[in-house]
């Protein structure tokens, strides 16, 4: 069995490019920029549908493919990824915030969930902001435990449905637990209130649905299912979930898409469906030999996705010190920043790859 499948690298490589573009727009652009064609395309279309949900599905695939590791290894990796997420928060948020207090005190003014009455709660909120790496860590731990019990595919299907369905009932619970709230904050975060930014990006409920879907795909590949069989199963699942999600959206009076981080079942099912179709098209591209030479340039980005993720966030985070958080009102200026951060991220990544000391530390967190 081959250990790398090019279409997965192609998908992840595109996701890296989209990630840098979306983060640039979301972090620096005002509401005017987010409502411009640039913001709508990157942040609301590409960043929502074939963006983070697809990355989470791929994470689930590689959780079991090409070979599942022992539960204790996965749990240990999950703990280290969670810690890496907190380290990243220091580098991209805490340190820039402290620097901004000296050179640009208003740089973080538009992060609405911060408590500005004193430094400690602000620093804590920046340090303990839940994001992709913290979610990935918790997902590794939970999925490693679940795989000890849920051996059959239908077990995971039921688990995924339960996660999607009960998630809305959990959002906001535990806020009155005081100092104990951080224990549950990564799992669902604060209540879904229009205009209130989430304190937990990618909460376990409902985002665990996506890697569960990925595990089902990975299991099929590991079992030796034929390429066409896997693709047909993905198409069937996309049609079923797309129909179910569309029905939820049509019948429900609630905005099923929430604030993206916390979607109701209808939005979640539609995101899974589109994610499966997005991955499936790249599988077809490889099968048909379409765009392969161009897409192969993306393999570098895929192989080093964790490092690039760290690098681009640190660069964008320190950029807040000078550009401010959501303070740039000109879409053309924000658009001009995108290639700047893409190029800087690429060369910074290449430089760090050449440092054996740095890579040994990063490898400890990611293996």
Mean of all residue pLDDT scores within the chain: 92
pLDDT at 202: 94
Q: Alpha-carbon torsion 31, 32, 36, 42, what sign?
A: negative
Measure Cα distances from 246 to 133, 233, 238 in Å. Answer: 30, 20, 12
More confident residue, 216 or 198: 216
Half-sphere exposure of 199 (CA within 13 A, CB side): 23
The answer to whether residue 219 scores a pLDDT higher than 90 is yes
Residue in this structure with the two tokens 């490589």, named with its chain if needed: 13
pLDDT of 316 strictly over 60: yes
pLDDT tens by residue, 70-123: 999 999 999 999 999 999 999 999 999 999 999 998 998 887 656 555 667 888
Q: Please report the pLDDT score of residue 3 as a whole number.
A: 56
pLDDT more than 70, % of the chain: 96
Give alpha helix (H) positions in 208-264: 209-222, 227-251
* pLDDT bucket at 355, cuts 50 / 70 / 90: very high
Would you list the DSSP string of 299-340?
A: HHHHHTHHHHHHHHHHHHHHHHHHH-TT-B--HHHHHHHHHH
Strands (DSSP E) found in the chain: none
Q: Which residue has the higher pLDDT, 367 or 236?
A: 236
CA dist 54 and 57 (Å) reads 5
What confidence tier does 1 reach under pLDDT thresholds 50, 70, 90?
very low
pTM over 0.75: yes
Residue 113 pLDDT: 59
Please tell me the predicted confidence (pLDDT) of residue 157: 97
Closest to 51 (Cα-Cα) out of 8, 5, 16, 10 = 16
* Backbone region of residue 131 per phi and psi (left: phi > 0; alpha: psi in -120 to 50; beta: other values): beta
The CA-atom distances, in angstroms, between 129 and each of 29, 77, 85, 90, 316 are: 20, 20, 9, 10, 16
Instruction: Give me the residue label for tokens 């990796």.
Output: 77
Give the model's pLDDT for residue 89. 97
pLDDT digits (tens, 9 = 90+) for 58-70: 999 999 988 878 9
Per DSSP, the three-state class of 36 is coil
| pLDDT, tens digit, 9 for 90 and up, residues 151-205 | 999 999 999 999 999 999 999 999 889 889 999 999 999 888 876 778 899 999 9
pLDDT digits (tens, 9 = 90+) for 279-290: 999 999 998 988
Rounded to an integer, what distance in angstroms lies between the CA atom of residue 150 and that of residue 211?
14
Residues 63, 310: Cα–Cα separation, whole Å: 20
Give pLDDT tens digits for 289-299: 889 989 999 99
Average confidence (pLDDT) over 54-60: 95
The reported pLDDT for the residue numbered 328 is: 96
């Amino acid at each position: 069995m081959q250990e790398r499948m090019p279409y997965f690298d192609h998908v992840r490589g595109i996701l890296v490019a989209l990630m840098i573009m979306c983060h640039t727009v979301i972090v620096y652009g005002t509401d005017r920029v987010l409502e411009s064609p640039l913001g709508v395309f990157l942040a609301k279309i590409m960043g929502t549908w074939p963006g983070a949900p697809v990355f989470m599905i791929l994470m689930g695939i590689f959780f079991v493919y090409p070979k599942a590791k022992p539960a204790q290894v996965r749990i240990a990796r999950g703990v280290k990824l969670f810690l890496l997420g907190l380290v990243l928060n220091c580098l991209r948020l805490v340190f820039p915030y402290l620097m901004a207090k000296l050179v640009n005190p208003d740089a973080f003014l538009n992060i609405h969930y911060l408590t500005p009455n004193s430094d400690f709660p602000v620093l804590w909120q920046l340090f303990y902001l839940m994001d992709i790496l913290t979610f990935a860590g918790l997902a590794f731990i939970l999925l490693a435990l679940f795989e000890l019990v849920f051996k059959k595919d239908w077990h995971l299907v039921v688990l995924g449905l339960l996660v999607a369905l009960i998630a809305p009932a959990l959002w906001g619970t535990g806020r009155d637990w005081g100092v104990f709230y951080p224990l549950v904050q990564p799992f669902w975060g604060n209540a879904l209130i229009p205009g209130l930014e989430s304190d937990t990006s990618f909460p376990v409920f409902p985002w665990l649905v996506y890697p569960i879907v990925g595990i089902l795909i990975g299991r099929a590949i590991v079992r030796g299912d034929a390429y066409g069989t896997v693709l047909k199963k993905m198409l069937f699942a996309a049609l079923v979930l797309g129909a179910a999600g569309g029905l939820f959206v049509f019948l429900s009076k609630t905005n099923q898409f929430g604030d993206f981080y916390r979607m109701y079942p209808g939005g979640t099912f539609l995101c899974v469906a589109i994610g499966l179709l997005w991955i499936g098209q790249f599988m077809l591209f490889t099968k048909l030999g379409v765009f392969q030479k161009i897409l192969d340039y993306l393999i570098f980005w895929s192989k080093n996705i964790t490092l690039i993720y760290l690098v681009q966030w640190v660069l964008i985070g320190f950029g807040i010190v000078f550009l401010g958080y959501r303070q740039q009102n000109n879409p053309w200026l924000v658009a001009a920043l995108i290639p700047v951060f893409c190029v800087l991220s690429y060369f910074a990544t290449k430089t760090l790859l050449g440092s054996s000391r740095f890579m040994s530390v990063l490898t400890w967190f990611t293996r």
